[in-house]
Amino acid sequence: MSSLEGRTAIVTGAGQGVGEGIARTLAARGANVVIAARRAETGEPIAASIRDGGGVAVCIPTDVTRRADVEACVESAVDRFGALEIVVHNAFSGAAPHRLEELDLDRHWTPMSRTGVWAVLYCGQAAWPHLRAAGSRGRFVLVTSPSGIEGSVNIPLYSAVKAAERGIAKSLAREWGPSGVTVNCLAPVAASPALAGAFAGNPGLRAAIEARTPLGRVGDPVHDVGTVAAFLAGDDSGYVTGQTIVCDGGSFVGL
């Protein structure tokens, strides 16, 4: 596995769950990590923990649904570390079960659209001048979901938003490829506060997920997902772009 020593990575939604796992792994590989969490109360302890372990991390409170916040985060990262090579957009909120014929758009659509798709626009546009300057070290990684490929009976609009992220990644891979920058998606199933909440609300859910997963367990944000994100963030994946790596223990094995 290639080192990320000296490279700077912004990880959105890194205050918990999958984002935290990715941030910790990138830091362990040597990256300067910016914990872009909406609230300092969640992000700062993660950054402090990374620093306590010998890594380099700062928390920059960032609401990814606000263009100005994202631009300020990117500029702060570059001011502090001198460059920006890696952006991992993981932040997401608002997934709640719904029927297509009984939608409340304010509840079932807007939060996901804002954090999942509008935020990609903001992150990508703010980071682009710096990723382009990084050339073949430039990486844009979007955290999507297997349900963004196969759809979902429980959360259709979540699947749609996650699918949109894949469409964006494929297009940006083509558009940014000549500069050397790669754009890929990571589709994990891993332990997170959101999944824990789902388990609490549905006692049979964990067993159901484990039963349909060939590897028989829910993924770990650091050891199962963070490592794949580190691959996509580093030199070893330099010839991989426009792809989605599904990281779910084999649950989804379709095209």
Partner 1 sequence: MRGTMVDTEQIGDGVVIRPRFDPVARPFESLTDDQWHEAWERPVLDTVAALQQAHREGVRRIVVVVPVTSMSGGSQYVHVAAPAEAIRVLVKSAARQWGAAGVTVNAVAIAPARVLDDPGAAGPVSIAPAPLDSADPAAVIGFLCSEAAGDITGQTVTVDGGAWM
Residue from 128, 158, 176, 252 carrying the catalytic annotation: 158
Which residue is it, tokens 């779910």? Answer: 248
* Residue 4: CB minimum distance to partner 1, A: 25
Phi, psi dihedrals of residue 36, rounded to the nearest 5°: -95, 85
Which position among 53, 68, 80, 171 is part of the footprint of partner 1 (CB under 8 A)? Answer: 171
* Residue 16: CB minimum distance to partner 1, A: 26
- Is 249 a binding residue for partner 1 by CB under 8 A? The answer is no
244: three-class secondary structure by DSSP: strand
- Is 100 a binding residue for partner 1 by CB under 8 A? The answer is yes
- Is 161 a binding residue for partner 1 by CB under 8 A? The answer is yes
Q: How far is residue 74 CA from its own chain's centroid? A: 16
Cα three-residue angle 157-203-245, rounded to 5 degrees: 45
* Residue 121: CB minimum distance to partner 1, A: 6
10 Å CB burial of residue 117 (0-12, 13-18, 19+) is: middle
* Residue 99: CB minimum distance to partner 1, A: 6
* Residue 210: CB minimum distance to partner 1, A: 21
Closest CA relative to residue 188, chosen from 153, 147, 150: 147
- Is 150 a binding residue for partner 1 by CB under 8 A? The answer is yes
Residues 119-148 that bind partner 1 (CB under 8 A): 121, 124-125, 128, 148
For partner 1, the closer CB: 28 or 70? 70
CB distance 14 to 193 below 8 Å: no
Residues 37-96 that bind partner 1 (CB under 8 A): 67
Which residue is it, tokens 């949109």? Answer: 164
- Is 149 a binding residue for partner 1 by CB under 8 A? The answer is yes
DSSP codes joined into one string, 192-238? -HHHHHHHHH-TTHHHHHHHH-TT-SPBPIIIIIIHHHHHHHSGGGT
Supply 143's token pair.
Answer: 């955290």
Euclidean distance between CA atoms 100 and 32, whole angstroms: 42
Is 158 annotated in the active site? yes
For partner 1, the closer CB: 109 or 199? 109
Span of 29-37, 55-63, 99-107, 216-224 interacting with partner 1 by CB under 8 A: 99-107
Binding-site size, partner 1 (CB under 8 A): 42
List active site positions: 158
Q: Which residues contribute to the site for partner 1 (CB under 8 A)? A: 67, 99-101, 103, 105, 109, 113, 117-118, 121, 124-125, 128, 148-153, 155-157, 159-176, 242
